[in-house]
Structure 1
Amino acid sequence: MTQPSRIAPQSLHSKIMNAEDAASLVHNGAAVGMSGFTGSGYPKAVPLALAARIEAEHSAGHPFRIKIWSGASTGPELDGALAKADGIDFRLPYNSDPIARQKINAGEMNYVDMHLSQVAPMAWQGFLGPLDTAIIEVSGITAEGDLIPSSSIGNNKTWLERADKIILEVNSWQSEMLDGMHDIYYGTALPPNRVPIPLIKPDDRIGQPHFKVDPSKIVAIVKTDAPDRNAPFSAPGDTAEAIADHILEFLMWEAKRAGLPPSLLPLQSGVGNVPNAVMAGLIKAPFEQMTAFTEVIQDGMLDMIEAGTLRVASATAFSLSPEKAEYFNTHARLFRDKLILRPQEISNHPELVRRLGCIAMNGLIEADIYGNVNSTHVMGSRIQNGIGGSGDFARNAYLSIFMTPSTAKNGAISAIVPMASHVDHINQDVQVIVTEHGLADVRGLDPKKKAALIIEKCAHPMYRDALREYFERAKKSSFGGHTPHDLREALSWHQRFIDTGSML
């Protein structure tokens, strides 16, 4: 259990209670701001107790569902447990839980998929309505009553400010060495009072290490000792290694072409085996003293720091495998001056991404031959997770790279299609597409040249001829000649998969 020293103010000890009592303070229909971002720093005890309470209410014939706002994805004790209890009426801005995903796609849960940088401003603008309760995990409370954040920041600052009442989980599993790694900026505002954010370099500190909180709003404190739940990463296979090799070769070429410094530009990367393969490759690449200005710190970034390749990483959360999370907790002191966690309205801020000149690397579900990217919906309608922060970075980055294996479902699905069945990133925001077969740098190309290059460089050989044939037919039959499409068959590949289980 949490040691008394984690909750320093004696005045708050009277608010310590068990998770069940804390859960009883949440009412049916409440909007609840939860901490958590990519499986890090989310509350773990109160949501489980709340799910049990909701199931009991349902068994008694009483309605009980809540609205959940978060930073991004959470963990099975939160989204999974509450979705299984049919306790979530509304969810934003991102979800990766499989039970919640099933309910969203079945029309049983309302879900708003949002650019992550826009969540806090929208909450302040009032479009989301009032926030009844904030349930926030912290790693401690200082003698002055400030909150020491845990392994994610996300939208916690906003939830603490906006909520009518606050429930805190103080998690002793989180390393005490996290104290000092955070930079909480309180200078954001809505127009006409908005001012420039005074951050010039990824390692600048512009805020304070702790959350400010009104102690009168704290209604419960729950002691926990529970790990974050992130999925393990498997070792990169041949496909991931090939994609990483193409990206690394391109970055070396681009650095020489554009006269970039040996440190390149600040890196942003999505999560997964391919990004970790890129990070592993960067350790051996001819770059040094690199920086990251990104959403999450993942396994490969810790490896780069230990190898001396990455000087500093700024993010809003950790997204570590269980093994790497345990390693970090044991060795957190080694990383204290090299990692900075910020609110996601800063880590994902479009103006900062543009000004710093980030190199953005993100995944996709499918891209069409003209470079439009679908990051969220399988076959155009079934949501997988959400856009997350990829849009914040893609539109504003110095380099916007999207990467994917060329096929899915053992070749039954092509990641390169005639027309994207759903578009999250318009072609103007997509500069580079990479698969294991090659890299298409489409900067400055007209649509038809983009199509020819993407088909040649990125499509799997078993689909390449069919894409070429579609493109030629479209050029002859299209209503317009700028971006040729044959609307009678543009989405036929998706319909064929739905009907037969294969796009072939």
Structure 2
Amino acid sequence: MNWQDEYKRKLVTAEEAVKVVKSGDWIEYGFGLTSANELDKALAARKDELFDVKIRVDLGVWPHYTLEADPDGNHFWWHSWHFSGLDRKYYDTTGKMFYVPMKFNECPMMTRKDVKPNRIFMATVAPMDKHGYFSFGAGAAASMAAIENAEYVILEVNQNMPRVLGGNQECIHISQVTYVVEGSNPPLPTLNPAPPTEIDVKIAEHIIGLMRDGSCLQLGIGGIPNAVGTLVARSDLQDLGVHTEMYVDAFLEMTKAGKITGKYKNIDRYKQVMSFALGTQELYAFIDDNPGIASYSVDYVNNPAVIASIDNFVSINACLEVDLFGQICSESVGTRHISGTGGQLDFAEGAYKSRGGQSFICMHSTYTGKDGQVMSRIKPILTPGAVVTTPRTASHKIVTEFGVADMKGKSTWERAEALINIAHPRFRDELIKEAEKMKIWRRSNRLN
């Protein structure tokens, strides 16, 4: 069959495609780089015709034109499965950005059975191949689940989107599509990794010292995990594997350094497994049509049972603060929303249950507030209103520049001792006093 003929029949302008949107609709956008861009701009131009249109997105990185066009919030409201830095800016400035709490591995399941069905799905994709398939490229996390719910499926083709091989649910066929829009092919948004700080290097050294040849890596969102991965590329470690929700430039650096072979992975051997990518243009070029990369839906990649089936799994994520009980907050500062649960809990549980596995959650020991005051990230209790991302029952190894605190199998006083040992020295006496008040300290406790 000539799929180009069907493509031509379904090819319309962005303005024509968004005419299917009605007041009150729920619309799902693709993940991250695959979110709607020119389609959202065309929808913003219909503002005066539409009311109470609800949009769901995950890690939005393209401009949110519909939010910008509607300062009063009468027409468009956005909902995010996980805040990006850009989403957070809109949340802070417009008040029309809402978070949908979830564990990332459950996003496809929740999309299929729990959320209000999206009548329309829109996404940016790679050009159609000779077999009639469009690749979701740098974001296959939950798109097929949203498509199953949709009455209309609208694709925005961008020639700069890499074609990423699968895996599963990494592409969609022209026969499943309602309309195709050919955009102006803007460059994909990038995320350039910051060079590691002195504290990042110390944290990385603690983790690398506990890793083994043949470990399988996951890196979460944030500067510290990316810095750790970059420093692994300079280490003596060999034959590493990759099974990660987010594919970042650190994996590219490790690959170029010859550190990644995947030869010891129990599943998907020799493949670097991911659900989405965000990084530099070099990274996007690397994953394009690369048989060594496999894109999967996130209910596979982040499934704790799948993670646990891979020996020597090493999960590296970041957080905002930790309390003396081992509760970890990675998504809010008090009640102010910052990011989301994402896959942190998925990988904390899965990595710990892996044979030889380790889950590391990292942070600098202190931060400086807007008033210039230096404060500890290890606190007696979490900041009031803070969201617990990883409960104390799931936390494993917590890392600062002062060392590693292993939470597993420890009583409350042992946890307090381990955490105070990796707190900044200037805050340790104060933390001990608070631990005594909370009856989680013994006189025989010792500090390093």
TM range (shorter): 0.7 to 0.9
Could you list the per-position Cα deviations for residues 115-157 of structure 1 after superposition, in whole angstroms to 9, with x for gaps in the alignment?
A: 11112112222x2122200102211223443323322212111
Counterpart of 2:268 in structure 1 is none
Select the residue among 213, 219, 241 that pairs with 1:269. Answer: 219
Report whether the alignment pairs 1:102 with 2:96: no
Tell me the SS of whatever aligns to 2:41.
Answer: helix
Counterpart of 2:337 in structure 1 is 383
Report whether the alignment pairs 1:74 with 2:60: yes
Counterpart of 1:491 in structure 2 is none
Does the 8 Å contact 1:101/1:384 carry over to 2?
no
Deviation larger for 108-117 or 423-432: 108-117
Does the 8 Å contact 1:371/1:427 carry over to 2?
yes
Q: What 5-or-longer segments of structure 1 have no aligned partner? A: 1-6, 186-208, 256-261, 476-480, 484-504
2:197 alignment partner AA: G
Select the residue among 125, 128, 143 that pairs with 1:156. Answer: 143
- 1:112–1:17 distance in 2 versus 1, CA, 3 Å: same
**Whole-Å separation in 2 of the counterparts to 1:273 and 1:90:** 27
Does the 8 Å contact 2:417/2:441 carry over to 1?
no
Could you list the per-position Cα deviations for residues 259-293 of structure 1 after superposition, in whole angstroms to 9, with x for gaps in the alignment?
A: xxx212x2111123222221122223332121111
Q: Report % sequence identity.
A: 23
Report whether the alignment pairs 1:402 with 2:389: no
Report whether the alignment pairs 1:219 with 2:179: yes
Counterpart of 1:182 in structure 2 is 166
Tell me the SS of whatever aligns to 2:24.
Answer: coil
Counterpart of 1:345 in structure 2 is 299
Report whether the alignment pairs 1:29 with 2:19: no
Select the residue among 267, 278, 288 that pairs with 1:319. Answer: 278
Could you list the per-position Cα deviations for residues 304-336 of structure 1 after superposition, in whole angstroms to 9, with x for gaps in the alignment?
A: 11111012421111111xxx32x2455556x81
Select the residue among 92, 100, 104 that pairs with 1:112. Answer: 100
Counterpart of 1:498 in structure 2 is none
**Whole-Å separation in 1 of the counterparts to 2:285 and 2:62:** 24
Q: What 5-or-longer segments of structure 2 have no aligned partner? A: 262-270, 353-357, 443-448
Superposed displacement of residue 90, structure 1: 4.8
Does the 8 Å contact 1:135/1:168 carry over to 2?
yes
Does the 8 Å contact 2:219/2:229 carry over to 1?
no
Mapping 1:139-150, distance limit 5 Å: 139-150=126-137
Superposed displacement of residue 245, structure 1: 1.2
Counterpart of 1:198 in structure 2 is none
Does the 8 Å contact 1:42/1:74 carry over to 2?
yes
Superposed displacement of residue 367, structure 1: 0.3
**Whole-Å separation in 1 of the counterparts to 2:325 and 2:401:** 19
Superposed displacement of residue 103, structure 1: 5.9
Mapping 1:296-315, distance limit 5 Å: 296-311=246-261, 312-315=271-274
Select the residue among 394, 402, 415 that pairs with 1:450. Answer: 415
**Whole-Å separation in 2 of the counterparts to 1:291 and 1:439:** 23
Counterpart of 2:393 in structure 1 is 428
Superposed displacement of residue 482, structure 1: 9.7
2:22 alignment partner AA: H
Give the total of aligned pairs. 414
Counterpart of 2:315 in structure 1 is 360
2:172 alignment partner AA: F
- 1:25–1:224 distance in 2 versus 1, CA, 3 Å: farther
**Whole-Å separation in 2 of the counterparts to 1:164 and 1:482:** 59
Cα RMSD for the two superposed structures: 2.4
Counterpart of 1:489 in structure 2 is none
Could you list the per-position Cα deviations for residues 190-227 of structure 1 after superposition, in whole angstroms to 9, with x for gaps in the alignment?
A: xxxxxxxxxxxxxxxxxxx6324644x51343334122
Does the 8 Å contact 2:344/2:389 carry over to 1?
no
TM-score under structure 1 length normalisation: 0.76
Tell me the SS of whatever aligns to 2:393.
Answer: helix
Tell me the SS of whatever aligns to 1:137.
Answer: strand
Report whether the alignment pairs 1:466 with 2:430: yes
**Whole-Å separation in 2 of the counterparts to 1:120 and 1:482:** 43
TM-score under structure 2 length normalisation: 0.85
1:223 alignment partner AA: G
Report whether the alignment pairs 1:167 with 2:157: no
1:76 alignment partner AA: W
**Whole-Å separation in 2 of the counterparts to 1:297 and 1:228:** 15
Could you list the per-position Cα deviations for residues 27-77 of structure 1 after superposition, in whole angstroms to 9, with x for gaps in the alignment?
A: 22211121123xx222221112222332xx1xxxx662322234x302132
